């Protein structure tokens, strides 16, 4: 591409940027006009004697604005409420909207966050940082950033809201036309993320020969899982990563766990509690609260991920039952202390061949110590446990060795 073509492209993109700012300023002028008309009419209506008539005339004002702007009454109420919140609590955001630095969509996202926040210092912090982020990111990115902002600056209140929302979890069905219905589940974000991941993994595994689209396969699987009567452990396992700060993970501070892609967050206790995340394998990334560096990587779930299985293979090489030399790549990844009491971690896992795995399951696989004592293989020790022999055993061994 020539320098002349590059200059033309830069000129064209610059023009598009300016058009976007012009459009944003036009949105702001329309919103300001709506506010001025409403305020003037409300001031006039305040002089009406009868309360019922004042209420009727106020409703008529919203209707008139909607007719003039081509909006429904609900849309007018929403736009005016968003503008009022931003003007009152985040004036810098409002000025950026008037200047065309951010458009109405971004202003309304910020307004929705203002509605959630409850403390004055939180409004100030939002006003000081939101414009710079909103100006250089998409609406979706801004929405995720705002969610993290709320989780960070009002953690205690956000945790309370999350627990109240979880208590209201439910499933609804809405029947529509053409014999179709929509099933809506109000679930926690970890549950929904795990369910969708499992649907996607299993639907893709059906292969390219399946004539159904991916969405159709997911829908059919969803219906099948909900309507069959089989009772047993699922064979489908999802791998989902979440990030937690080190102080949140250790319990020093309450906080949120955030999806690796930033699409959702939830109270960290929901991830740290294995009862709430029994099916998927969760990858917990413990991050430094200042630098965001990954300090540790842990798993929550029964089945070891492939990376952990490979590490066990390299570390141990062979089956870890006494005297067994079956290669580790032909062994099962076994929990020394059974899951869920024992974690899915390198410290608590070892390779066992299928025969010794079965013996361990029936509690007949044991270590025989040099002292002659026999102990179960269950305790999570890297090597066979050693117990100090008694003085009498030592003397007996000495006599045998010398005679």
pLDDT in tens, 170-210: 999 999 888 889 999 998 888 888 888 888 888 998 888 88
pLDDT at residue 306 in the model: 79
Residue at which a domain ends, from 301, 325, 358:
301
293 and 260 co-located in one domain: yes
Label residue 382 by pLDDT band (50, 70, 90). very low
pLDDT in tens, 232-268: 444 445 667 788 888 887 778 888 888 877 788 888 8
120 and 35 co-located in one domain: yes
pLDDT at residue 91 in the model: 93
- Average pLDDT, integer, range 282-299: 74
213 and 128 co-located in one domain: no
Asked whether residue 359 is assigned to any structural domain, the reply reads yes
Question: Smallest Cα–Cα separation from 370: which of 380, 352, 357, 384?
Answer: 384
Peptide bond into 340 cis (omega under 30): yes
194 and 316 co-located in one domain: no
Residue at which a domain ends, from 138, 153, 168:
153
Contact 279, 194 (CB under 8 A): yes
Which pairs from 158-165 meet CB under 8 Å and 24+ separation?
158/256, 159/254, 159/256, 159/267, 161/116, 162/266, 162/267, 163/267
Find the CATH number of the domain harbouring 363.
1.10.30
Residue at which a domain ends, from 134, 153, 172:
153
22 and 145 co-located in one domain: yes
17 and 101 co-located in one domain: yes
68 and 24 co-located in one domain: yes
Asked whether residue 172 is assigned to any structural domain, the reply reads no
Question: Smallest Cα–Cα separation from 102: which of 141, 74, 65?
Answer: 141
Q: Enter the tokens of residue 26.
A: 């036009």
15 and 149 co-located in one domain: yes
138 and 212 co-located in one domain: no
Asked whether residue 161 is assigned to any structural domain, the reply reads no
Q: Enter the tokens of residue 83.
A: 């503008």
pLDDT in tens, 41-84: 999 998 888 889 888 998 899 999 999 999 999 999 999 999 99
CA distance linking residue 315 with residue 313, whole number of Å: 6
Where do runs of H (alpha helix) occur along 205-328?
A: 214-227, 246-249, 268-272, 306-316
Asked whether residue 217 is assigned to any structural domain, the reply reads yes
pLDDT at residue 302 in the model: 74
In the chain, the percentage of residues whose pLDDT exceeds 70 is 81
In the chain, the percentage of residues whose pLDDT exceeds 90 is 36
50 and 137 co-located in one domain: yes
Asked whether residue 399 is assigned to any structural domain, the reply reads no
148 and 36 co-located in one domain: yes
Q: Can you name the residues that pair with 284 across neighbouring β-strands?
A: 242, 298
Where do runs of H (alpha helix) occur along 251-323?
A: 268-272, 306-316
Number of domains in the chain: 3
Please report the DSSP string for 161-177 in residue order: HHHHHHHT-EEEEEE-S
Asked whether residue 176 is assigned to any structural domain, the reply reads no
What is the H or E stretch that residue 287 is in?
strand 281-287
Where do runs of H (alpha helix) occur along 168-305?
A: 189-204, 214-227, 246-249, 268-272
Asked whether residue 347 is assigned to any structural domain, the reply reads yes
Task: Identify the domain containing residue 325 by its residue range.
Answer: 306-376
242 and 326 co-located in one domain: no
pLDDT at residue 231 in the model: 46
Asked whether residue 361 is assigned to any structural domain, the reply reads yes
Q: Which residues contact 68 (CB under 8 A, 6 or more apart)?
A: none
């Amino acid at each position: 591409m020539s320098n002349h073509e590059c200059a033309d492209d830069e000129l064209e993109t610059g023009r598009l940027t300016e058009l976007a700012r012009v459009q944003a300023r036009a949105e702001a002028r329309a919103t300001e006009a709506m506010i001025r008309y409403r305020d003037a009419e409300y001031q006039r209506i305040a002089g009406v004697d009868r309360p019922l008539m004042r209420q009727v005339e106020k409703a008529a004002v919203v209707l008139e604005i909607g007719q003039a702007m081509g909006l429904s009454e609900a849309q007018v109420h929403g736009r005016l409420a968003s503008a009022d919140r931003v003007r009152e609590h985040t004036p810098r955001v409002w000025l950026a909207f008037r200047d065309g630095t951010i458009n109405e969509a971004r202003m309304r996202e910020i307004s929705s966050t203002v509605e959630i926040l409850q403390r004055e210092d939180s409004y100030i912090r939002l006003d000081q940082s939101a414009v710079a982020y909103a100006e250089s990111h998409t609406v979706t990115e801004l929405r995720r950033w705002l969610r993290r902002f709320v989780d960070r600056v009002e953690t205690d209140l956000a945790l309370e809201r999350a627990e109240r929302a979880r208590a209201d979890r439910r499933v609804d069905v809405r029947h529509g036309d053409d014999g179709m219905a929509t099933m809506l589940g109000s679930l926690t974000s970890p549950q929904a993320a795990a369910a969708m991941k499992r649907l996607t993994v299993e639907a893709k595994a059906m292969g390219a020969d399946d004539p159904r689209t991916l969405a159709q396969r997911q829908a059919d699987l969803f219906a099948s899982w909900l309507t069959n009567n089989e009772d047993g452990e699922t064979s489908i396992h999802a791998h989902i990563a979440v990030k937690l700060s080190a102080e949140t993970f250790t319990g020093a501070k309450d906080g949120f766990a955030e999806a690796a892609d930033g699409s959702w967050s939830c109270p960290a206790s929901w991830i740290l509690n294995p009862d709430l995340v029994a099916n998927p394998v969760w990858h917990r990334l413990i991050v430094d609260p200042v630098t965001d560096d990954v300090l540790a990587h842990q798993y929550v779930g029964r089945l070891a991920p492939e990376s952990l299985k490979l590490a066990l293979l390299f570390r141990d090489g062979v089956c870890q039952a006494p005297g067994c030399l079956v290669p580790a790549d032909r062994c099962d990844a076994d929990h020394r202390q059974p899951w869920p009491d024992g974690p899915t971690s390198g410290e608590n896992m070892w390779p066992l061949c299928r025969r010794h795995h079965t013996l361990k399951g029936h509690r007949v696989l044991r270590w025989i110590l040099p002292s002659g004592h026999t102990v179960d293989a269950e305790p999570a020790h890297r090597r066979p446990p050693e117990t100090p022999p008694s003085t009498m055993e030592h003397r007996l061994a000495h006599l045998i060795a010398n005679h």
